[in-house]
Structure 1
């Protein structure tokens, strides 16, 4: 288990604010951390563990760029305190690949050119993976509705939906 003993922010300690000691299982690896109680899960991942896939977009939970999975369910990590997730399983975009092979959703995003600037792409992929696992990607309308919390400023939505449809279709065909 890795132990990370860090102040509230890597650059400064917060006087008078209690620290919490937590263990996050991130991408299958436990990390014991001592953090300011106010540190968000997003900041713990990015600033304390160096996992920069999840992005800080709006910092208000409205854009989806910070989406990660916790116990298999998608959350916006900018609104979640790291301490809330003590002992929980967190999966980031960095943890989707298995043995160096990109996740099928990552592969489909690349095939369909489902990104332009790429800033929102990790959050889009994490939401798409969850959407598929939840069984909420059966129709074009479902995909639109359940991906609506992930904003792409470049407008790559048609390609994003095509990538999701491809993976859902492949999974459906494989189960027949």
Structure 2
């Protein structure tokens, strides 16, 4: 998380990358740990480092919450979207332990496959979200003008935001990525 926080000071619009890259690192770490289990001559510290790589997935959560608040406009819509994300997070944490059954011990192949599948799904969803945001912003710029180049459009977008218009009602709203 500290690496992403420090990187964010120098590079803007990296929220979608903040969803994808930590998950890729986590999948690599999980594959190394799983692939080297019960192997002779494996560097123990290499496996420990790979295990630490798995925990990089936790760096994606602040980006998810940040994007949740910035991809929608309008107080009620933002509140509802954040609630759905938090409820989904809680449900996932409740269901997750049930993916590990005693009959799969000691390797827990089904549970680890489930985790890797959810990590892969996060990567795919992040890529799709990034593409969708990019093309939607491009379409809005073509249709309504580019607020980053026109101060009047930018001011009008801010005023519409203060009037609690949603992202669909405000033609000058641009999605962050």
TM class by smaller structure: under 0.3
Higher strand share: 1
Indicate the structure with greater helix content: 2
Tell me: higher relative CO, structure 1 or 2? Use CA pairs within 8 A at least 6 residues apart. 2
The normalised TM-score by structure 2 is 0.24
**TM-score, normalisation: structure 1:** 0.24
